[in-house]
Chain A
């Protein structure tokens, strides 16, 4: 058969090829295990596969206006974050800090096989009108609505004012 012929003539090369394919496949497996958020398998563009990580709300200094930060990971095709809301707050808006001010943004792209990252001094959520003044250890539900993936609900913990997820 084809395989048998191939083995005799291209034995070594074939091994190397198999290795490459295997490594890729295994790598892919690891990605799914690490970050997978469920959803259908989709090669290439396919549907978005979103998950949220590293979410936190720094305890607002005067109990009022707060920021929110998180990372939306995407192991699938492109999507777009359209809206964020919370049952525990009157308003949640998306903003981008500029060197000396900030501007509201209507939507944010979640790149294919990439991440949308909210971070200090950059893109952040502005949360106002708390039903209950936030305290350390509280969790606030945020509902993230995407163009293609629908709404993802996450519980976001309230951390110290100067907390950063990269600092252990």
Chain B
């Protein structure tokens, strides 16, 4: 009967209205609720949650200064060790501390034994401001054993480019602040061949690092 149809439709409208009200009310629970889009893809046969690279970049040939002011040779000193590599700068309020902070939390969840097997390396894209001391203070908030490297920006740019990461010169804004570039990804190098096998886009959830770090520490193939 036409009336029944109509009634059903109207009841449907009421349901929609209620649903809409609930959705709006739900704004009270958390910041909009829309979880960040999942950026990682899972290769069917990979144990990793990060994006598995099909092109395995070589660890860049990069000599800079570490946070104790000593020369640091990335290839030599991380040879045969799992290495996470991120390019960023300390006067970056959002992406850099979020990324490094999440890695720090995941690192703390590792067993001490696994933790020793992982190098976390932060390469400054703003060496003029990021002195070894500044880097150390900043990194200590995320991990006192994190390695911070600073030095010739030209070298940093070349190294980044070899990994498909574009770093620009810092820009001094009208108000005197400096905006630099950071990598949009963290690269994980495996100890087996010292090549990059897994990639984590910035915005990757801490849980993803927590899942993958024990595998990376053990050098599990991607």
Least CB distance, A87 to chain B, in whole angstroms: 19
> Which of the segments A40-48, A64-72, A146-154 contacts the partner chain?
A64-72
Is A104 part of the contact surface with B, judged by Cβ < 8 Å? Answer: yes
Q: B87-110 interface mask toward A, CB cutoff 8 Å, 1 = contact, 0 = none?
A: 000111111011011101100000
Least CB distance, B148 to chain A, in whole angstroms: 12
B182, closest chain A residue (CB): A100
For A161, the chain B residues whose CB sits under 8 A away are 97, 101, 104, 141-142
A166, closest chain B residue (CB): B30
Q: Which of B17, B179, B203 has the most CB of A within 10 A?
A: B17
Q: Given that A34-B25, A99-B184 are contacting pairs, would A166 and B35 also be in contact in the complex, using a CB cutoff of 8 Å?
A: yes
Do B93 and A60 touch across chains, with their CB atoms under 8 A apart? yes
Q: A24 vs B36: C-alpha distance in the bound complex, in angstroms?
A: 30
Do B101 and A58 touch across chains, with their CB atoms under 8 A apart? yes
Do B93 and A101 touch across chains, with their CB atoms under 8 A apart? no
Q: A153 vs B203: C-alpha distance in the bound complex, in angstroms?
A: 29
For B98, the chain A residues whose CB sits under 8 A away are 58, 120-121, 162
Q: A124 vs B173: C-alpha distance in the bound complex, in angstroms?
A: 17
For B93, the chain A residues whose CB sits under 8 A away are 60, 65-67, 95, 124, 126-127
Do A27 and B31 touch across chains, with their CB atoms under 8 A apart? no
Is B177 part of the contact surface with A, judged by Cβ < 8 Å? Answer: yes
Q: A19 vs B13: C-alpha distance in the bound complex, in angstroms?
A: 10
B96, closest chain A residue (CB): A61
Q: Which of B7, B32, B166 contacts A13 (CB 8 A)?
A: B7
Least CB distance, B139 to chain A, in whole angstroms: 8
Q: A59 vs B141: C-alpha distance in the bound complex, in angstroms?
A: 9
Which positions 61-94 of chain B face chain A at CB distance < 8 Å?
A: 90-94
Q: Which of A35, A99, A166 contacts B28 (CB 8 A)?
A: A35
Which positions 1-56 of chain A face chain B at CB distance < 8 Å?
A: 12-13, 16-17, 19-20, 23-24, 26-28, 30-31, 34-35, 53-54
Do B31 and A119 touch across chains, with their CB atoms under 8 A apart? yes
Least CB distance, A19 to chain B, in whole angstroms: 5
Known A30-B25, A62-B134, A162-B102; further 10 A-B contacts with Cβ < 8 A: A16-B6, A20-B11, A26-B21, A28-B21, A54-B31, A60-B97, A62-B137, A64-B91, A69-B31, A97-B95
Ordered nearest first, which 5 A-B pairs have the shortest CB separation? Answer: A27-B21, A61-B141, A67-B93, A99-B184, A20-B14
